[in-house]
Amino acid sequence: MSAREHDRPVLALLIRLGGIAGLAAMAALIKFASTRGLHLIELLFWRQFLALPILLGWALLSGGVSQLGSKRPKAQIARGVTGLIGMILNFGAVIMLPLAEATTFGFSAPIFAVLLSVLLMREKVGVWRWSAVLAGFLGIVVIAQPGNSDHAIPLFGAAVALGGAFMIALISIQIRDLSKTENSMAIVLWFAATSSLLLLPALPFVSTAHGWEDWGLLLAIGITGTLGQVGITTALRFGQVASVIVMDYSSIVWATLFGWLLFAALPSTSTWFGAPLIILAGLIIGWRERLAHKRFVDQRATSGGT
């Protein structure tokens, strides 16, 4: 029986929505922590390391630690490495760019998901999705405004954010594949353990003394990030990548709110014009994915599920 037959699209969207809220809160806390002088490596390490006891405690209360084992440890470690690269880029984007702009560039993940589906899975993409890809990249150009030296968005920061979006698309495909055999908490725990081990050797070179406020921030980042990660990972067990990513657009509301409350910053004029193009592209891609899923279900029903 294929993964598509287990899909529960509405549940996947709701879970993804909650996960995105957690990650949006984490992003705001990361940016705030960076203004207090906490190093990126510290933020990454404690975000991941603090997830381990949270996940172990959760597992003990919900069926035992056996559910955290893996049938595919090599695939888990590979996901951990790509996940760490994605985290470095996405955390860096949040630190370098205003929250709303960093979030908007992250919306290009469905566009990269289409490109990866062509390159990695040899999927046929029609005119609708190619048009969405072009519209999305047009929105990116509108926001970034390359060649405009007076523009407020640092182009290096924009490039880092786009790299992070690409990694989100790649990681989503990896998680979708892992979810066929692995528990959602196991996927998150293996990611946290792998990335913590990779970050540990660099930690002594960047660590500084912290007061209770900074440790409280690090703890809050770990909690919100873990809850958010479990949410978006679980969503991919019940829904298609291009479909559930639609819920990621809710993060612009949180980013705008946190940016205004914490940093007195609102999205730039170019962002108001470019963001709708990127969001529209993602919605079209999600719509086409749902149509493809419906056709698949209808064909399975017609053929008797064989």
In this prediction, residues 165-176 reach a mean pLDDT of 86
User: Helix, strand, or coil here: 66?
Assistant: helix
> What letter represents residue 198's amino acid?
L
User: Distance (Å, rounded) from C-alpha 236 to C-alpha 231?
Assistant: 9
Provide the token pair at 224. 């919100």
What DSSP state is assigned to residue 46?
Answer: H
Residue 230 domain-assigned (yes or no): yes
Residue 22 domain-assigned (yes or no): yes
Give the pLDDT band of residue 1 (cuts 50, 70, 90): very low
Among candidates 170, 50, 28, which has minimal Cα distance to 97?
28
Q: What is the pLDDT, as a whole number, of residue 2?
A: 47
Identify whether the C-beta of residue 127 lies closer than 8 Å to the C-beta of residue 183: no
Percent of the chain with pLDDT over 70: 86
When divided into structural domains, the chain yields a total of 1
> How many angstroms from the chain centroid is the CA of residue 97?
17
Residue 299 domain-assigned (yes or no): no
Q: How far apart are the first and last CA of the chain?
A: 9
Q: What is the pLDDT, as a whole number, of residue 82?
A: 95
Q: What is the pLDDT, as a whole number, of residue 3?
A: 46
Greatest CA separation for the chain: 65
- Check the CA dihedral 147-151-155-158 and report its sign: negative
Where are the alpha helices (H) located in the chain, listed in sequence order?
9-35, 40-49, 51-61, 73-96, 99-106, 109-121, 127-144, 155-178, 184-199, 203-206, 212-238, 241-244, 251-263, 269-302
In this prediction, residues 58-85 reach a mean pLDDT of 88
Q: What is the pLDDT, as a whole number, of residue 210?
A: 86
For 239-294, write each residue's pLDDT tens digit.
766 667 667 788 888 899 898 988 888 888 888 888 888 888 877 777 777 676 66
Residue 114 domain-assigned (yes or no): no
User: Distance (Å, rounded) from C-alpha 21 to C-alpha 227?
Assistant: 9
User: Distance (Å, rounded) from C-alpha 143 to C-alpha 140?
Assistant: 5
Non-local CB neighbours of 147 within 8 Å, separated by 6+ positions: none
Residue 23 domain-assigned (yes or no): yes
190 or 289: which leads in pLDDT: 190
Give the pLDDT band of residue 219 (cuts 50, 70, 90): very high
Question: For residue 96, what are the domain limits?
Answer: 3-107+154-267
Residue 254 domain-assigned (yes or no): yes
Residue 303 domain-assigned (yes or no): no
Among candidates 291, 302, 200, 297, which has minimal Cα distance to 1?
297
Residue 200 domain-assigned (yes or no): yes
CB atoms within 10 A of CB 159: 16
pLDDT of 306 over the 80 cut: no
